[in-house]
Amino acid sequence: MKLSALHQSYLNRRRSPLDSSVDAPSKSFLAVFWLVLHCLCCLISLLLGFRFSRLVFFFLVSTPTTNLYSPPFRPNLPPPRIDLTPSNATTAEVKTSSSRVVVGRHGILIRPWPHPDPVEVMKAHRIIERVQREQKAVFGAGGKGSRTVIAVTPTYVRTFQALHLNGVMHSLMLVPYDVVWIVVEAGGVSNETASIIGKSGVRVIHVGFDQRMPNTWEDRGKVEVLMRLRALRVVKEEKLDGVVMFADDSNMHSMEFFDEIQNVKWFGAVSVGILAHSGNAEEMVMSMDKRREMVDEVEERSSLPVQGPACNATDKLIGWHVFNTLPYAGKSAVYIDDVAAVLPQKLEWCGFVLNSRILWDEAESKPEWVKEFGLLNENEGVESPLSLLNDPSMVEPLGSCGRQVLLWWLRVEARADSKFPPGWVIDPPLEITVAAKRTPWPDVPPEPPTKKKDQMSLSQGNNNVVVIPKQQQQQQQQQQQRSSKVRKPKRRSKRNKHEAKPTDTTTQVSSSTKHHQERN
Amino acid sequence: MTNRLSLSAILLFLFFSASSAQHNVRTERISGSAGDVLEDNPVGKLKVYVYELPSKYNKKLLQKDPRCLTHMFAAEIFMHRFLLSSPVRTLNPDEADWFCSPIYPTCDLTPTGLPLPFKSPRMMRSAIQLISSNWPYWNKTEGADHFFVVPHDFGACFHYQEEKAIERGILPLLKRATLVQTFGQRNHVCLDQGSITIPPFAPPQKMHAHLIPPDVPRSIFVYFRGLFYDVNNDPEGGYYARGARAAVWENFKNNPLFDISTDHPTTYYEDMQRSIFCLCPLGWAPWSPRLVEAVVFGCIPVIIADDIVLPFADAIPWEEIGVFVAEKDVPELDTILTSIPTEVILRKQRLLANPSMKQAMLFPQPAQPGDAFHQILNGLARKLPHDGSVYLKAGEKVLNWTAGPVGDLKPW
């Protein structure tokens, strides 16, 4: 009763200009009472200095229905648009075409389940991801906008091709710009290569080259040059627009490399880290010791394994850093599968990038210091990309003037007689299967006593996790034998005792070092 | 209003049909067959004469309270200063197309910095009396070729409370003049047919000092900082912002996609640049500086204000740039925003990235081409030439000098 009276008096106060109190006599006492209380509270709040009355009322009178946030939904309150505000009436008086939007109080609309919907959250995340991708494309890499990266890769079918080509492919797949991948294959187009590069998802131009890849590093280099020129001819014919870089299939590229080459204007050079390994662990160690000695004695002659542009203090190109091949003189690999250091050329192609417009026919805004590509004579021996230029001093050094090494040159190939399954798929399954002897499965029959020595050692070497039956334990302890933990009948361990243990350098589950030493 | 609607509809249609992505995909130009309206140069298209009013109407007020230069109503002061040194200014009033009266009615601030509009009607009235008695140009047209900058909450209604503002209506003496105001709401007493809506003043240097590199990824989906409930003036809730801000809070305070709170972080501008959508809901008045901030920082404005008229609505296609959400649809805001196709979002961002768009929202000192000052002049130029009926015959009087509440008639 008190509650409804409160509501109604509230309403009355709100409505006072519009309709006078209709039911005066019954409400007068209540109104007076509230008025007195209100005045009292006003006085108190004057003294205390905050809205005491309202707070008291809300705390005293608060019930679940008196929700501060949803007064309009109380059923006994009429819908707010129609009344409650005197200004509404004046609005109707002042303008004939009243605004749809009313001045007064509206409901605070809350939906029944004000929590996030997972489907919409996913949609929002997809939107965010798309926006960020667009941002990267437009503003990333210094805001240059993105130019297509044209990667030129000479390759041929061999054991390590899958290793190398997958590496290059995944690097190119990560590049945030458009990529055109020109793969030139020596020996013609093959299914092997096609099956690897087909998974890339970037645009691939697979070109066959009629020569077969020769067996020596030197000749291979020459053929690779011809293959690259073939690819450049493709760029010229198809009028591909972008930045041409040479992604040799065994090299490793960093992602910053692709960002940096976007800055090239016509012809640029980056520093390449040369990993001239020897393939022979001992020789590697020895050469490293030698190098350390050399460094102690002669400080200047440190063979930096870096090839690239050399700049002076004002960041202008003055020359080239070239890999120092002297330490490897006479010891470098000649044949592809030699166990010796593989040395790079004087200037490797992978360290150069060029604007594809250099290769186009029409001389539109092509600088004069660039030779006409169409007139290039391959038989004259094109060694490095600098042969494409009339004036090699116009090359732009990239990567803070060659100080950053952005890619690494490496040549690793398998032995000449190595074979690999075509497509790296084992089909049909392998013919030779060896049953696992020491498995938890009990149906493997025990070995007959006339087995050969090395088979014994092999089987013994594989004993790791089998439970020792108690008798055997005791036996072993008695005999001080190396614990061959097997679930085998007694005579097995007896055999251990009798036979001289073969030199077993494989896994040791030994219990006593004494026996270990004996055997060794 | 229908003229304006049809004009804007035609222009919008032209924008739709003629706008296409340029070869530079980074930004899209808001272009139409009428040319780039935002980049129009008003010099040569109109001449403005600035009255020399006594300093009690302008300079003295500013001297008393220099805070007037930095609050969001500072447009009136800067417009005056801009015109004084602009090439469109003419010293010969006979050849002027428009007349500017430099009065600063919003420069009467409380200690907390809010303007009191109670004396503004009297000030305007006394200024107009001065103008009409000292120069003959007011009486020629009864003010139809004069314009006044009234950037306060409800424009020339001169009150901060909407009910009272509607009661008063536009000052009767300004009925024929062109009003340059920030308030814009359709079918509202305080928006006259021929008014020019301008953005509220936001300090350009302050905003430009907080720019971050554009490749910082936008990771906040929806961003808002401000009040949801105004407990001082509207304790029960439901009046402030017509309940829309409170609805936003109640529906989305648990939603991680919505970064909304009442904080005042120092990284407010930087956070806006990391957001995709910025909410611009109405407050006590439908406009807010958030719109300017959102445009400058490339965040798509989500405008929750029914029937609002946005700045320079005849030059800027706001439908293509921002998202409009009806107040009753606020509970479904997340559904609405996530169902916008990504291509549309990217296009809006490209339009926002257009530098002429950002420039048009700002009042830089000194003035730069394409900024809000020039857009105001463009708007005035578009209203030329004056209709012949604007000029009154000698002795004809249209305005009622004694209309309005009695308190307004007291001299200032």
Q: For A113-152, how does the pLDDT look when each residue is reduced to its tens digit (9 = 90+)?
A: 888 889 999 999 999 999 998 888 777 655 556 789 999 9
Asked whether the beta carbons of A269 and A308 are under 8 A apart, the reply is yes
Share of chain B above pLDDT 70, in %: 90
Same domain, B189 and B247: no
Same domain, B223 and B355: yes
CA gap A297, A291 in Å, rounded: 10
Q: pLDDT by residue (tens digit) across A264-293? A: 888 999 999 988 775 555 555 565 666 565
User: What residues are paired with B27 via a beta bridge?
Assistant: none
Q: Which of A7, A97, A101 to mutate to test the interface with B (most CBs of B within 10 A)?
A: A101
Nearest CA of chain A to the CA of B70: how many Å?
Answer: 29
Q: Which residues of A touch B186 (CB under 8 A)?
A: 99
**pLDDT > 50? residue A519:** no
CA gap B276, A338 in Å, rounded: 59
CA gap B330, B335 in Å, rounded: 10
Q: Which residues of B touch A135 (CB under 8 A)?
A: 214-215, 217-218
Domain range spanning residue B79? 42-201+371-409
Q: Which residues of A touch B218 (CB under 8 A)?
A: 128, 131-132, 135
Say if B279 falls within a structural domain. Answer: yes
Instruction: Give the distance, in angstroms, between the CA of residue B354 and the centroid of all CA atoms in the same chain.
Output: 20
For chain A positions 143-202, those within 8 Å of chain B (CB to CB) are 143, 145
In terms of Cα–Cα distance, which of A238, A243, A236 is closest to A266?
A243
Nearest CA of chain B to the CA of A109: how many Å?
Answer: 6
Q: Which of B255, B258, B300, B309 to mutate to test the interface with A (most CBs of A within 10 A)?
A: B255
Residue of B nearest to A131 (CA): B346
- Pick from A54, A104, A114: CB nearest B250: A114
- Strand bridging mode A252-253 / A405-410: antiparallel
Taking an 8 Å cut-off on Cβ atoms, the answer to whether A139 and B251 are in contact is: no
CA gap B162, A90 in Å, rounded: 12
Same domain, B55 and B123: yes
CA gap B377, B88 in Å, rounded: 9
Same domain, B328 and B375: no
Instruction: Give the distance, in angstroms, between the CA of residue A308 and the centroid of all CA atoms in the same chain.
Output: 27
Taking an 8 Å cut-off on Cβ atoms, the answer to whether A106 and B242 are in contact is: yes
Taking an 8 Å cut-off on Cβ atoms, the answer to whether B346 and A130 are in contact is: yes
Asked whether the beta carbons of B284 and B240 are under 8 A apart, the reply is yes
Nearest CA of chain B to the CA of A269: how many Å?
Answer: 27
Taking an 8 Å cut-off on Cβ atoms, the answer to whether B215 and A140 are in contact is: yes
Say if B28 falls within a structural domain. Answer: no
DSSP A376: -
Sign of CA dihedral A262, A265, A271, A274: positive
Say if B18 falls within a structural domain. Answer: no
CA gap A494, B153 in Å, rounded: 105
Res B271: pLDDT = 94
Q: Is B332 on the interface with A (CB under 8 A)?
A: yes
Q: Which of A54, A127, A130, A241 to mutate to test the interface with B (most CBs of B within 10 A)?
A: A127
Sign of CA dihedral B294, B295, B297, B300: positive
Amino acid identity of residue B172, one-letter, is P
Say if B400 falls within a structural domain. Answer: yes
Taking an 8 Å cut-off on Cβ atoms, the answer to whether A116 and B254 are in contact is: yes
- Pick from A71, A97, A116: CB nearest B257: A116
CA gap A504, A461 in Å, rounded: 7
Q: Using pLDDT thresholds of 50, 70 and 90, give the confidence band for residue A348.
A: confident
Sign of CA dihedral B105, B109, B114, B117: negative
Nearest CA of chain A to the CA of B335: how many Å?
Answer: 7
Q: Is B339 on the interface with A (CB under 8 A)?
A: yes
Q: Among the listed ranges A441-450, B60-69, B163-172, which one has the minimum average pLDDT value?
A: A441-450
Dihedral (Cα; B136, B142, B146, B148), 10-degree rounding:
120
| The model's pTM | 0.58
Q: Is B212 on the interface with A (CB under 8 A)?
A: no
Q: Is B2 on the interface with A (CB under 8 A)?
A: no
Taking an 8 Å cut-off on Cβ atoms, the answer to whether A107 and B166 are in contact is: no
Taking an 8 Å cut-off on Cβ atoms, the answer to whether B163 and A85 are in contact is: yes
Domain ranges of chain A: 143-278+304-410
Q: Using pLDDT thresholds of 50, 70 and 90, give the confidence band for residue B252.
A: very high
Q: Is B404 on the interface with A (CB under 8 A)?
A: no
Amino acid identity of residue A487, one-letter, is R
Res B395: pLDDT = 66
Say if B122 falls within a structural domain. Answer: yes
Number of domains in chain B: 2
Q: Is the peptide bond before B311 cis (omega within 30 degrees of 0)?
A: no
Residue of B nearest to A58 (CA): B236
Taking an 8 Å cut-off on Cβ atoms, the answer to whether B167 and A90 are in contact is: yes
Most confident of A35-49, A457-471, B38-52, B256-270: B256-270
Class of domain A143-278+304-410: alpha beta
Same domain, B193 and B46: yes
* Mean pLDDT of chain B, nearest integer: 85
CA gap B345, B322 in Å, rounded: 9
Res A395: pLDDT = 87
- 3-state helix, strand and coil shares in percent for chain A, rounded to the nearest 5: 40, 10, 45
Taking an 8 Å cut-off on Cβ atoms, the answer to whether B328 and A103 are in contact is: no
CA gap B251, B222 in Å, rounded: 13
Dihedral (Cα; A245, A246, A250, A251), 10-degree rounding:
-50
Res B309: pLDDT = 92
Say if B29 falls within a structural domain. Answer: no
**pLDDT > 90? residue B209:** yes
Q: Using pLDDT thresholds of 50, 70 and 90, give the confidence band for residue A510.
A: very low
Say if B97 falls within a structural domain. Answer: yes
- Return the higher-pLDDT residue of B345 and A88: B345
Taking an 8 Å cut-off on Cβ atoms, the answer to whether B331 and A114 are in contact is: yes
Q: Which residues of A touch B338 (CB under 8 A)?
A: 120, 123-124, 127
Res A43: pLDDT = 86
Q: Which residues of A touch B349 (CB under 8 A)?
A: 131, 134
Res A76: pLDDT = 36
Same domain, B278 and B324: yes
**CATH code, B349:** 3.40.50
DSSP B87: T
Amino acid identity of residue A19, one-letter, is D
Q: Which residues have CB under 8 Å from B215's CB, separation 6+? A: A135, A136, A139, A140, A143
Rounded to the nearest 5°, which phi and psi values hold at B103? -120, 145
Q: Which residues of A touch B240 (CB under 8 A)?
A: none
DSSP A167: H
Q: Among the listed ranges A28-32, A439-443, B125-129, B197-201, which one has the minimum average pLDDT value?
A: A439-443
Res A24: pLDDT = 53
Instruction: Give the distance, in angstroms, between the CA of residue B272 and the centroid of all CA atoms in the same chain.
Output: 21
Q: Which residue has the tokens 């499965």?
A: A441
Q: Which residues have CB under 8 Å from B254's CB, separation 6+? A: A114, A115, A116
For chain A positions 88-117, those within 8 Å of chain B (CB to CB) are 90-91, 94-95, 97-111, 114-117
Taking an 8 Å cut-off on Cβ atoms, the answer to whether A121 and B257 are in contact is: yes
